[in-house]
Structure 1
Amino acid sequence: MSKYRNCLPLLEDRPFLTDGGLETSLIFHEGVELPYFASYDLLKTERGSALIESHYERFTNVARKHGVGIVLATPTWRASRDWGIKLGYSGSALTDINRRAVVQLANFRSKWETPATPIVIVGTIGPRGDGYKAYSRMSTTEAQNYHQEQIDSLTATQVDMVGGFTLNYIDEAIGMVQAAKMACVPISISFTLETDGRLHSGESLEEAVERTDAETMCYASFFMINCAHPSHLEKALRSGGDWLLRIRGVRANASKLSHAELDCADELDDGNPLEFGEETAALRGVLSRMNIVGGCCGTDHRHAEAIWRAIERGGAHSGQQGGYWASLVGDVARL
């Protein structure tokens, strides 16, 4: 049974960290080959499983140090049918690997969770196509049918919710939400933005959030933004509006490069962790409901540490606010 599915602490406005760029860390820091960025393939060996668990440990240590919760996402971003076929996985093998990923995190939670650091397990769902490009698109019905398989396999585990990540057009997001609704599992949707603050398909983030909500009766628990540098979000957020209240999380890229530039890069651009932390924390000045922060491509535990140091410092550079963020800063100051 899921520990939090019927009462998600992510909706309680308490602060949560996320883990960072798993695939980029494995490739560039650990020297692991990951065909198609499919990190779940490592779960077939003890060494591969240990590498993934070490990744979770680094971020959980940061969360426990700062007395906040942590959201850990399964390494199943590529564990859907089309990507699995490329790696030789049958349908039953994909179901097994999705479930195995959750078992690993459930065991990890039993060892690492504390009252001050609750651990929420999210079953990761990735796009059917490229996370950076929206060239091949599905209708909402096609997207629901495609993603239903993976969501159903994750729902039958101890996962607390599922999360759709790096989505770059609206119809796929709607289909994912409809599939989660059919499976009766909570879901978050995270859109990828370009340097102009829009989805690769051209729609604005505001359009993406509002249309997804309108066509799914607001079933998604919340929305997030990921795989874009904090400096790329300004144009998307400057319009203001109630739709911003639906965004609870940001998992930003370390690099300021565009997705096209990153696709051509041979070396990791991990940016400036201290600057990254300041700019991520400053988003609280616009996203008043943002209580989930972390990293995506190119980020590691240094970036997570920098975010929380910036939040604890408060002040103008981190968009100091009242409420739970102010309480967090006060609590940490007394440690």
Structure 2
Amino acid sequence: MTSIALLDGGLGQEIYQRAPQVSSRLWSVAVMLEHPDIVKGVHKDFIRAGAKTHTLNTYPATPTRLAKAGLLDSIDTIYRQAFFALQQAIDETGEDVDIAGCLPPLVGSYLGQPQRSFEDMKAEFAHMARLQPDVDVFLIETMSNTLEARAACAAAREQGKPYGVAFRLEADGNLRSGESLNEAMRAVADYAPTAVMLNCCDPAVLTTAMPHMARSYHTVGGYANAFKSVDDMAKGSKADALEAREDLSPLVHTERVQQWIADGALVVGGCCEITPAHIQHLAQTLEQSHAIIKFSQLG
């Protein structure tokens, strides 16, 4: 029986949507500062849905983004609060799951080549990793260029814990930087991540890429978003401008994920607008034919 690591779904967007009175470029972190119980509630819903690896709610909380918002002095508090919310959710559900530290793009999602050095970015990623000392694994997400991805991998590798790196592909199958998927996978291979994945892509893009990924690396996976478009976000708008697709029901999502698994994916889950209901349908379907495991249990 093949083992599949099942991640949670679109944590940040689910949190943000449950607090419609909050509008901020800090997205789900802004919600957490005002309504921490919402964060715990979303974690509990994803745990009960059957996901085995759950990411801390710190995606927008990079030092760069917090400094821009005037909240850099609160970074320690934000990371402690994020860990506390997830740990509470785990304690209250009694489930055995991974806590995943989050290493996201430093400036924002959907951007091209950064105007920063490898060492500068590695230092910032290392700072974030140190703020998440008690996690079981690290997930590097939504990488849109190989320089930033390598810097994140270098920082994650130094922590001595399993970690995965996920790239975002555009509609043309390349990274926002213009680099190809082949270039991206080669760029991180020497860092030996536990898994190389795609995330926050259109599902069709992920479907096209998965067979090639599986031939190119020993452990691959993917988790797509369900947005109509991220173009406004890429231009600097708030998450408020994003719209969910209406054609990606839990059943359709499960069918797509099953195709990725058939093509070689060993890590799956969901990105933005993939809800606990999507993950529950997926978990209940997969458990009939696969062993559902934590990311830390990948061979």
Residue type at the aligned position of 1:31: P
Indicate the SS of the match to 1:15.
strand
- In the other structure, the counterpart of 2:263 is 286
- In the other structure, the counterpart of 1:111 is 92
Task: Choose 72-81 or 134-143, whichever is displaced more.
Answer: 134-143
Residue type at the aligned position of 1:254: A
Shift of 1:213: 1.6
Change (3 A) 1:282 1:149: same
1:252 aligned onto 2:252: no
Change (3 A) 1:42 1:278: same
1:126 aligned onto 2:104: yes
Indicate the SS of the match to 2:132.
helix
Question: 1:71 pairs with 53, 59, 72, which one?
Answer: 53
The CA RMSD over aligned residues, in Å, is 2.7
Higher relative contact order (CA 8 A, sep 6+): 2
Shift of 1:13: 6.3
Indicate the SS of the match to 1:183.
coil
The answer (yes or no) to whether the contact 2:232–2:242 under 8 Å persists in 1 is no
Aligned partners of 2:27 and 2:142: how far apart in 1?
Answer: 14
The answer (yes or no) to whether the contact 2:206–2:222 under 8 Å persists in 1 is no
- In the other structure, the counterpart of 1:196 is 172
The answer (yes or no) to whether the contact 2:12–2:59 under 8 Å persists in 1 is no
- The alignment's TM-score, normalised by the length of structure 2, stands at 0.84
- In the other structure, the counterpart of 1:297 is 272
CA shift digits 1:190-244 (9 cap, x unpaired): 1111122221112222321222122x3x1x2222211013211233234466424
Change (3 A) 1:267 1:145: closer
The answer (yes or no) to whether the contact 1:278–1:310 under 8 Å persists in 2 is no
CA shift digits 1:122-167 (9 cap, x unpaired): 1112111231121534332222022121111112xx2112221111
Question: 1:27 pairs with 16, 27, 31, which one?
Answer: 16
Mapping 1:1-335, distance limit 5 Å: 14-45=3-34, 48-63=35-50, 69-91=51-73, 93-114=74-95, 118-155=96-133, 158-214=134-190, 216=191, 218=192, 220-239=193-212, 242-247=215-220, 249-255=221-227, 257-260=228-231, 266=241, 268-271=243-246, 272-273=248-249, 274-288=251-265, 290=266, 292-311=267-286, 325-326=289-290
The answer (yes or no) to whether the contact 1:40–1:76 under 8 Å persists in 2 is yes
Change (3 A) 1:298 1:43: closer
The answer (yes or no) to whether the contact 2:203–2:225 under 8 Å persists in 1 is yes
Residue type at the aligned position of 2:33: K
Change (3 A) 1:139 1:99: same
The answer (yes or no) to whether the contact 1:168–1:199 under 8 Å persists in 2 is yes
Shift of 1:262: 6.6
Indicate the SS of the match to 1:224.
strand
The answer (yes or no) to whether the contact 2:223–2:269 under 8 Å persists in 1 is yes
- The alignment's TM-score, normalised by the length of structure 1, stands at 0.76
Aligned partners of 1:224 and 1:186: how far apart in 2?
Answer: 14
User: Which blocks of at least 5 consecutive residues in structure 2 are unaligned?
Assistant: 293-299
For this pair of structures, how many residues does the alignment match? 286
Indicate the SS of the match to 1:148.
helix
User: Which blocks of at least 5 consecutive residues in structure 1 are unaligned?
Assistant: 1-11, 64-68, 314-324, 329-335
Q: Looking at CA atoms only, which structure, 1 or 2, has the larger radius of gyration?
A: 1
